[in-house]
Amino acid sequence: MITKSSHDDALYAHFVTFSCYRNRNLLDHDQAKRVVLGVLDSQRLIQSARILGFVMMPNHVHALIWFPQTGQLSQFMKQWKQRTSKIIRRDVMPMLPAYQKQIEDGSAFWQRKYHAFQVWSDEKLIEKLNYMHLNPVRAGFVDRATDWRWSSARHYEWNRTVGIPIEWCPTG
């Protein structure tokens, strides 16, 4: 018998990555990033999730998310992606004609799938936080992770607000 693999069958933190359709830089504009961050916070409240970290790049997003119950990740991701796509199309695109042309063909905003990785130890959690926080540095956008406005690096380095509550959740 074939069984479907699940990334959501235990109370682990989840390291998730999802990309804009065809890896387009649809998150270049701050308005689009604000929508993604706002919906992340809203969905966090709806599903009682904890956000352990995030980074938004021009064409993809990384986040570390923990849920108090198993079986929550798929619904969370579905809602996060659907709601951001709808709000960006409705509210952001009309204000930015050049931006609108990037998505005008009626194509999807996000790639259909997302990648999820269960984080089972504090060491792996720190590894994933460092990996995602250094993304903007590796891409050449900033010299230091804390200079990138669209990540949780400033929270961890300086205990500064980053637009949404960041909560540590020990894994072991």
Residue 70 belongs to a domain with what CATH number?
A: 3.30.70.1290
Task: Establish if 40 belongs to a structural domain.
Answer: yes
> Tell me: the pLDDT tens digits for 148-169?
999 999 999 999 999 999 998 7
Task: Establish if 170 belongs to a structural domain.
Answer: no
> Tell me: the pLDDT tens digits for 84-129?
999 988 888 777 666 666 666 667 889 999 999 999 899 999 999 9
> Tell me: the pLDDT tens digits for 137-151?
999 999 999 999 999
Task: Establish if 165 belongs to a structural domain.
Answer: no
Task: Establish if 168 belongs to a structural domain.
Answer: no
Give the pLDDT of residue 170.
62
Task: Establish if 5 belongs to a structural domain.
Answer: no
Give the pLDDT of residue 34.
95
Count the Cβ atoms, other than its own, within 10 Å of residue 69.
Answer: 10
pTM score, two decimals? 0.89
> Tell me: the pLDDT tens digits for 14-41?
999 999 988 888 898 899 999 999 999 9
Task: Establish if 115 belongs to a structural domain.
Answer: yes
- The residue type of 169 is C
Q: Which residues span the domain enclosing 92? A: 13-158
DSSP secondary structure of 104-161? TT---SB-S--EEEEE-SHHHHHHHHHHHHTHHHHTTS-SSGGG-SSBSHHHHHH---
